[in-house]
Amino acid sequence: MASTVVDVVMPQMGVSVSEGTITRWLKQEGEAVAFDEPLLEISTDKVDTEVPSPGAGVLQRILVQEGETVEVGTRLAVIAAAGAEPSPAPASAPPQAPPEPAAAPERAEPEPAEPGPAPAVPGAGDGRSFVSPVVARIASEHGVDVARVPGTGHGGRVTKKDILAYIESGGAGAPPAPAAAEPAAPPPPGPEAGPAPTAAPAPPPPPAAAPGPRVPPPPAEAAPPPPAPPPPEPPAPAPGEIVEPMTAMRRGIAEHMRRSLDTSAHVTTVFEVDMTKVVAIREKLKPQYQAAYGVNPTYLAFVARATIEAIRNWPWMNAEVRGESIVVKQYVNLGIAVALEGGKGLIVPVIKNAEGYNLLGLARAIADVAERARAKKLVPDDVQGGTFTITNPGGWGAIIGTPIISQPQVAILDVEALVKRPVVIADEAGNDVIAIRPMMNLCLSYDHRLVDGAYAAQFMKELRENLESWDEATY
Amino acid sequence: MSGPRTAYLLNLGVVEYREAWDVQRSLAAAVSQGAIPDTVLLLEHPAVVTVGRLTGAGELHLPAGAEVDVVETDRGGRSTYHGPGQLVCYPLLDLNRHGRDVKRYCRNLEEAVISTLAAFELAGERIEGLTGVWLRPPPRKICSIGVHISRWVTTHGYALNVDLDTRPFTEWITACGLDDAAFTTIASEVGRAVAVDEVRPVAAAALEEVLGLAFEELPADEGAGLWSQPTHARLASR
């Protein structure tokens, strides 16, 4: 039973926030709810917050009604996983709910206390009601601001053990350092490359990264995960070093990349493709397309078209791992990684329903989103809902890459440089000869949680065949 | 020590409440996925009464014939009034980057307003349990706060009374559900006319300081691709 039921708990909305009021249930008992869909709204101070559902299924029972105020960590509702037998709900919520912040309205890592809170604000918070006298005494003896100590107690409360560990770790007497939360790692120096580094981040945070549905809720008495130690103060820049803050987008990318590696079991496979036929067709189409439509049929467009065609037969390439379910998309929303000028970051605009485009349509759509991305003219809708991503570092001469998957997708295709190489082929008489051929490597990173090597290789084989035997009538 | 983080600042002028709400939501979506940095909107609303989630019955008592819109919003707090002469500030921040703490965020907004008022030699204060900024004695409310958070991204913010008739706060509604509250403005406290234009740069600087941001001011139409086109077209056509 435990594995099919997910608890919704009052999330922790700040170190000094001990309780919240339910303002509105957005779903009623018995109603279906999707993972990450807004489930209820809570109010703390003058702030209303949407709480997304920690699991998919049916809202089986609401335990705390609108208007009631409860402590952080209190069980608010129970969601029965889709397909689970409806189970009799407990008569009342246990007061000591699992501290697992399953419903926390963020991307869900167990939350250590904020490493670098802002300088104390006069009158801020009511942290005192949250601290035992022992902890308060230790704090004042050592000159520690309790708000800075990661709490592991119920609802994030700071225990005696926490504060002693904090003092032990050298936290005491440290100057208030908001910068601690912002390690000032300088971005790599030098000219930033243009489009499409190896990896393609998607800006949207991946709901699949939340632990909610995958991890059965811990038993009520389970200890919360231990907090991470406070991050060390970044060292002052040494002579010869230049320090600058990361931009918001840089941080977003950094966070997404790290989270993707933590989520998916990345494997990369590389296929080499003989592009002789594509090159010939492109040479023929290029003047036609440019004269008639002002569009350049790029190699990227050819690869994108062939990829979409291959996805038809290998649908798990266009899917998502959602909790313990596999969600296959019947449409292809194709993400194209685009680097912004001046190394300002990377964005993945999405071509919606790309399966409906022929080569010309795709070439035009790719040019359009890339241009709008660089001109910062994308609307939010343009970057959401991708189901498969293509990144294109080949324009800079790259020949092999291991791209990082854009969550919650399960695959990303890296299009490498077209290079003339000597290859062994069979001549008309069936003898081996060495020929000069335009070769292109395609590198696919896939999520081995869902896709096995044989499946990925067969997908790639079909993609290669689509390109090597390009059929103008079909594409 | 890292420096302030770049954020966008948009001065939108007078914008109808629902229109500004659309702008907020679409920009907040872009902020939430890292497509744009934190963004702060400064603007004024035409006269409007807004109703928060916790608004009680009896808070609204509009006189017959009052020319005012009533809009139900998703912000925290209760009813309030906006009108020209009030500086409205909507910070669209990803609190994942500002410490995920709703109370601290409210205290920070108050701090920014207190520091803005200090430039006019007014001593703004907090009153425990009554989020907002007050002058006293006797207590007179000069700034209201109401916030909505979705996936740790904030919308709504504060409304600072610069120079406007405060009677609607009490005669049209029981603002904030506070029966005996008095409302005041910067102009009536300093005894001269004060333009919103005079307060805006001070307010922006205070927010930069308190939130650790460095504003890059965008012209209102630079946001072109940042929000939905129909709203943008309306704003740009002004």
Over residues B53-79, the pLDDT tens digits come to 666 666 777 777 777 888 888 776 778
The pLDDT assigned to A83 comes to 54
Mean pLDDT over A287-300 rounds to 90
User: Active-site residue B106, yes or no?
Assistant: no
Flag if A14 and B148 touch (Cβ within 8 Å): no
Percent of chain B past pLDDT 70, that is, above it, reads 86
The 3-state DSSP class for residue B36 equals: coil
Cα separation, A468 vs A3, whole angstroms: 48
- Check pLDDT > 60 for residue A61: yes
The per-type count for chain A, helices as H runs and strands as E runs, is 7, 18
pLDDT band at residue B2 under the 50/70/90 scheme: low
Is the minimum CB–CB distance between B130 and chain A shorter than 8 Å?
no
**How many residue pairs from chains A and B have C-beta atoms closer than 8 A?**
183
- Check pLDDT > 80 for residue A42: yes
Residues in chain A: 475
- Check pLDDT > 60 for residue B47: yes
Cα separation, A317 vs A451, whole angstroms: 7
Token pair of B100 as six digits = 């995920």
The pLDDT assigned to B237 comes to 44
Interface test with A, best of B38, B102, B127, B216 (most A CBs within 10 A): B102
Is the minimum CB–CB distance between A256 and chain B shorter than 8 Å?
yes
∠ CA A190-A192-A193, rounded to 5°: 130
pLDDT tens-digit map of A129-187: 345 555 666 666 666 776 677 776 655 666 667 777 777 776 544 443 333 333 333 33
Percent of chain A past pLDDT 70, that is, above it, reads 66
C-beta of residue A195 within 8 angstroms of C-beta of residue A392: yes
Q: Residue B24, Cα to own-chain centre: how many angstroms?
A: 12
Mean pLDDT over A409-430 rounds to 94
Token pair of B153 as six digits = 């991204």
- Check pLDDT > 90 for residue B203: yes
A 2-31 residues inside an 8 A Cβ radius of B: 12-17, 23-24
Beta-bridged to residue B150, according to DSSP, are A50, B153
The pLDDT assigned to B130 comes to 84
Task: Out of A23, A179, A181, name the one closest to residue B53 (CB).
Answer: A23
Reported ipTM: the value is 0.71
Mean pLDDT over B210-236 rounds to 60
- Check pLDDT > 80 for residue A377: no
Task: Out of B75, B102, B225, name the one closest to residue A378 (CB).
Answer: B225
The pLDDT assigned to A175 comes to 40
Dihedral sign, Cα of residue A360, residue A365, residue A370, residue A372: positive
Instruction: Name the residue with higher pLDDT: A13 or A428.
Output: A428
Flag if A14 and B101 touch (Cβ within 8 Å): yes
CB neighbourhood size of A472 (10 A): 10
A 150-209 residues inside an 8 A Cβ radius of B: 177-179, 181-184, 202-205
Token pair of A440 as six digits = 């292109």
User: Of A400, A392, A397, A399, nearest to A200 (Cα)?
Assistant: A392
Flag if A248 and B6 touch (Cβ within 8 Å): yes
C-beta of residue A56 within 8 angstroms of C-beta of residue A322: yes
pLDDT band at residue B167 under the 50/70/90 scheme: confident
Instruction: Name the residue with higher pLDDT: A8 or A37.
Output: A8
Flag if A124 and B103 touch (Cβ within 8 Å): yes
The pLDDT assigned to A467 comes to 96
Cα separation, A167 vs A149, whole angstroms: 9
Contacts of A45 in chain B (CB under 8 A): 76, 102-103, 106, 131
Instruction: Name the residue with higher pLDDT: B114 or A248.
Output: B114
pLDDT tens-digit map of A341-365: 666 667 788 999 999 899 999 999 9
pLDDT band at residue A18 under the 50/70/90 scheme: confident
Q: Residue B172, Cα to own-chain centre: how many angstroms?
A: 20
The 3-state DSSP class for residue A292 equals: helix
Mean pLDDT over B7-33 rounds to 85
C-beta of residue A388 within 8 angstroms of C-beta of residue A409: yes
Average pLDDT, chain A: 75
Measured in degrees and rounded to the nearest 5, phi and psi for residue B213 equal -115, 155
pLDDT tens-digit map of B99-134: 888 888 999 999 999 999 999 999 999 988 888 999
Contacts of B2 in chain A (CB under 8 A): 179, 182-184, 234, 243-246
B125 CA: distance to closest CA in chain A (Å): 10
- Check pLDDT > 70 for residue A3: no
Residue B64 DSSP label: T
Instruction: Name the residue with higher pLDDT: B175 or B233.
Output: B175
Instruction: Name the residue with higher pLDDT: A104 or B203.
Output: B203
- Check pLDDT > 60 for residue A126: no
Flag if A372 and B225 touch (Cβ within 8 Å): yes
Contacts of B210 in chain A (CB under 8 A): 118
The pLDDT assigned to A234 comes to 67
CA distances (Å), origin A296, targets A7, A293, A300, A339, A366: 53, 9, 10, 19, 10
Contacts of A145 in chain B (CB under 8 A): none
C-beta of residue A54 within 8 angstroms of C-beta of residue A103: yes
A 34-73 residues inside an 8 A Cβ radius of B: 38, 41, 43-50, 52
The 3-state DSSP class for residue B215 equals: strand
The pLDDT assigned to B196 comes to 94
Cα separation, A148 vs A171, whole angstroms: 9
pLDDT band at residue A243 under the 50/70/90 scheme: confident
Instruction: Name the residue with higher pLDDT: A105 or B153.
Output: B153
The one catalytic residue among B89, B106, B143, B176? B176
The pLDDT assigned to A203 comes to 40
Mean pLDDT over A366-371 rounds to 87
Flag if A49 and B149 touch (Cβ within 8 Å): yes
Maximum average pLDDT range among A246-255, A322-331, B128-137, B225-234: A322-331
The pLDDT assigned to A292 comes to 86
- Check pLDDT > 80 for residue A384: no
- Check pLDDT > 80 for residue A218: no
Residue type, A345: G
Residue type, A321: V
A 327-356 residues inside an 8 A Cβ radius of B: 347
Mean pLDDT over A293-305 rounds to 92
Is the minimum CB–CB distance between B128 and chain A shorter than 8 Å?
yes
Q: Residue A216, Cα to own-chain centre: how many angstroms?
A: 21
Flag if A123 and B103 touch (Cβ within 8 Å): no
Contacts of A66 in chain B (CB under 8 A): none
The pLDDT assigned to A178 comes to 37
Token pair of B11 as six digits = 């001065």
C-beta of residue A412 within 8 angstroms of C-beta of residue A391: yes
Flag if B29 and A380 touch (Cβ within 8 Å): yes
The pLDDT assigned to A389 comes to 96
Flag if B2 and A253 touch (Cβ within 8 Å): no
- Check pLDDT > 50 for residue B93: yes
B 67-96 residues inside an 8 A Cβ radius of A: 74-77, 94, 96
Instruction: Name the residue with higher pLDDT: A325 or A253.
Output: A325
User: Of A321, A95, A103, nearest to A217 (Cα)?
Assistant: A103
Crossing angle of helices B102-118 and B196-211, in 10° steps, is: 130
B 203-222 residues inside an 8 A Cβ radius of A: 210, 212
User: Of B73, B74, B76, B79, nearest to B57 (Cα)?
Assistant: B79
A 262-321 residues inside an 8 A Cβ radius of B: none
Measured in degrees and rounded to the nearest 5, phi and psi for residue A384 equal -110, 155
Instruction: Name the residue with higher pLDDT: A189 or B18.
Output: B18
C-beta of residue A142 within 8 angstroms of C-beta of residue A149: no
- Check pLDDT > 70 for residue A381: no
The pLDDT assigned to B64 comes to 74
Mean pLDDT over B182-188 rounds to 91
The pLDDT assigned to A457 comes to 97
Flag if A243 and B2 touch (Cβ within 8 Å): yes
Lowest mean pLDDT across A157-161, A219-223, A396-400, B143-147: A219-223
CB neighbourhood size of A454 (10 A): 8
Beta-bridged to residue B154, according to DSSP, are B149
Average pLDDT, chain B: 83
pLDDT tens-digit map of A333-342: 999 988 776 6
Mean pLDDT over B23-42 rounds to 83
Is the minimum CB–CB distance between B201 and chain A shorter than 8 Å?
no
The pLDDT assigned to A136 comes to 63
- Check pLDDT > 60 for residue A224: no
- Residues 6 or more apart whose CB falls under 8 angstroms from that of A311 comprise A317, A318, A332, A355, A388, A459
The per-type count for chain B, helices as H runs and strands as E runs, is 6, 12
